[in-house]
Structure 1
Amino acid sequence: MLSFVGKRLATGVGLIVTLAVLTFFFLQLGNSDTAQRIAGQQAGPEAVAVVEERLGLDRPAIVQFLDWAGSALTGDLGRSWFSGQEVTEAVTTRMSVTVTLAVGSVLLTAVIGITLGALAATRRGWLDRAVQILAVIGQAIPGFLLAMALVLVFAIELDWFPATGYTRFSESPSEWLLSIALPVIALTLGSIGGVAQQVRGAMIDAFERDYVRTLRSRGLPRRSVVYQHVLRNAAGPALTVLGLQFVILLGGAVIVEQLFSIPGLGPLALSSTSQGDIPVVMGIVVVTGVIVVVVNTLVDVIQAWVNPKVRVS
């Protein structure tokens, strides 16, 4: 198991390094006037040159990257070129908000999606058809349209939830829950169908296996066969989909945060990218990459525990 985890972590580290290199040099391509924006549009060439020297922008891109990477390895992601705030503080503070939305959505998706998938596989009929339709609708409708519809109905018309804004849990747990309810629901609606469809397909396939027929022929109760054997067989595909959904929801939260005016990574990523604030963008990429690698590794470990055959892959 340790070698299995080590291989997954090594792959994840390679992914983060590749992502950091590509992001840095792509940002360099469109970042020629950053010093001018920092110095001011009316600043002359001498003032711009001073800014470039202070930030190290007058050096070759490869030297800039190596300096950044050396500091990043020690945990220092630098400071924002525009606000002067430490990147680690800015990113981790906002990341906690974004991760809260993504984790809440994944948990809600897991509970509802697995339940619907299991019911569709065991009862079939109209419920099975409804799950398949739900999966198609969830993939077809963009998340921001679902978010806007939820705001229109539940925030503006019914006034059950706030339309925008965010309350921290430390300030008021109840207000915090209300402020994230619509964003989490908006993210969840688009992913329930996919998880339910995956669980349904895996369970139907398991029902056709010889070992399940043998168990049923021996007189085991249907409930015992379903929950102890069939559903466990479907756990692997479900975990894979949920791991992918977390990454998708993490990206989707960026858009949803803009719609609901939530101070997560979304507004920070958009503003820093438009300004050309390379330290902040790189901090967001690295921290997000680390979270994705950790989540995927955990999913792989759980799958290896559920199904030992995974360890040899």
Structure 2
Amino acid sequence: MIPFLLRRLVSGIIVIIVVTSLVFFLTYGASPDIARNILGPSASHAQVAILNEKLGLDRPLFEQYFDWIANALHGDLGVSYFTSEPINSAISSRLPVTFSMVIVALLITVAVSLALGIVAAARGGVVDRVLQSIGTISYVFPVIILAIGLVYLFAIVLRWVPAIGFVPIAQSPGRWLASIILPSITLAIGGIAGLAAQIRGSLVDELGMDYIRTLRSRGVSEPAILCKHALRNAAGPALTVFSLQFIGIFGASLFIERIFALPGYGAYAMNATVQGDLPALLGVTLVSVLLVVIVNLIVDIAQGWLNPKVRL
């Protein structure tokens, strides 16, 4: 198991280095007038030169890159060009908002997908077709229209939850849940179809195996066969889809946070991109890649535990 984890860890580190390097050289290398963009077109050449020297932008590009790497390894991601806010504190203050929404969305996705997948595989026939149709509709339904519809119904008409804003869980758990439930449902809808279809397909394949017929011939109950044996063996492919769902939901949060006016990580990333705030953009990229690598590593560990063949 240890060599398996080391291989995965090394590959993750390589991915982090490659992605952050590409982003650094594509942003800083392709933006020769960074100081001019910050100060605006009315700034004089002397002001631009002073700012370039202050930010270290007058140094060779590779020297800037290695300085950024050294600082990042010490936990220093720099400061924003436009607000002078440390990138570390900016990201750490916004990640809880996004994590709240993403975790609740993943819980909804897993719970509903498991129910749909198990029922569809066990029942078959009309039930299977109906559930697959529901999953397909949820997959192709436009997320923006769904978000607007949920806000109109539950926030404006029924007034059960607020339409916008975020309340920290430490301040009020009830208001925290109310502030993220609509965006979480919006994020979950698109992922349910793919995960449910994968669970259903894997379970159908497992239920047709010889060992399932042997268990049935020995009098093992159907719930025990389904949940204890078939579901565990079918979990491997579903875990892979789950990791992709996390990445997709985390990426989609960028747009959902704009719709629901949430002060989260996605909104911060979008503002950094629009403004051309390169230190913030690099910090967002690094944290995003780290999260993807960590999630994939956790999924690989679970895969290795469920199926020892994966370790090879």
Is the TM value for this pair above 0.5? yes
Report the Cα offset of residue 81 of structure 1: 1.3
Structure 2 counterpart of 1:13: 13
Amino acid aligned to 1:153: L
Contact 2:118 2:203 in 1 (8 A): yes
Structure 2 counterpart of 1:121: 121
Contact 2:187 2:249 in 1 (8 A): yes
2:306 counterpart of 1:289: no
CA distance in 2, matches of 1:24, 1:190: 32
Structure 1 counterpart of 2:69: 69
Identity of aligned residues (%): 42
Q: Which moved more, 1:255-264 or 1:229-238?
A: 229-238
Structure 2 counterpart of 1:241: 241
Q: Could you give the per-residue CA deviations for residues 177-233 of structure 1, whole angstroms, max 9, x where no partner exists?
A: 100010001001111111111111001001111111111122222222111111111
Change (3 A) 1:139 1:33: farther
Structure 1 counterpart of 2:272: 272
Secondary structure of the residue aligned to 1:57 is: coil
Structure 2 counterpart of 1:96: 96
2:31 counterpart of 1:34: no
Please show how residues 1-313 of structure 1 align to structure 2 within 5 Å.
Answer: 1-312=1-312
Contact 2:272 2:278 in 1 (8 A): yes
Report the Cα offset of residue 133 of structure 1: 1.5
Contact 2:139 2:192 in 1 (8 A): no
CA distance in 2, matches of 1:301, 1:223: 27
Secondary structure of the residue aligned to 1:43 is: coil
CA distance in 2, matches of 1:272, 1:112: 35
CA distance in 2, matches of 1:38, 1:219: 74
Contact 1:166 1:263 in 2 (8 A): yes
Contact 2:101 2:181 in 1 (8 A): no
Q: Which moved more, 1:59-68 or 1:27-36?
A: 27-36
Contact 1:78 1:87 in 2 (8 A): yes
Amino acid aligned to 1:229: H
Normalising by structure 1, we get a TM-score of: 0.95
Report the Cα offset of residue 134 of structure 1: 2.6
Change (3 A) 1:164 1:30: farther
Secondary structure of the residue aligned to 2:168 is: coil
Report the Cα offset of residue 29 of structure 1: 4.9
Q: Could you give the per-residue CA deviations for residues 118-165 of structure 1, whole angstroms, max 9, x where no partner exists?
A: 011001133211222233223322322221221122212222211111
Secondary structure of the residue aligned to 1:152 is: helix
Contact 1:94 1:264 in 2 (8 A): yes
Report the Cα offset of residue 279 of structure 1: 1.0
Contact 1:257 1:267 in 2 (8 A): yes
CA distance in 1, matches of 2:6, 2:96: 27
Report the Cα offset of residue 38 of structure 1: 2.6
Contact 1:131 1:196 in 2 (8 A): no
CA distance in 2, matches of 1:228, 1:39: 63
Secondary structure of the residue aligned to 1:234 is: helix
Change (3 A) 1:33 1:139: farther
Change (3 A) 1:32 1:147: farther
Amino acid aligned to 2:59: R
Q: Which moved more, 1:127-136 or 1:289-298?
A: 127-136
Secondary structure of the residue aligned to 2:253 is: helix
Which stretches of structure 1, 4 residues or more, deviate above 4 A after TM superposition? none
Report the Cα offset of residue 43 of structure 1: 1.4
Q: Could you give the per-residue CA deviations for residues 208-266 of structure 1, whole angstroms, max 9, x where no partner exists?
A: 11111111122222222111111111111221111111111000111100000001112
Contact 1:131 1:197 in 2 (8 A): no
Gaps in structure 2 of 5+ consecutive residues: none
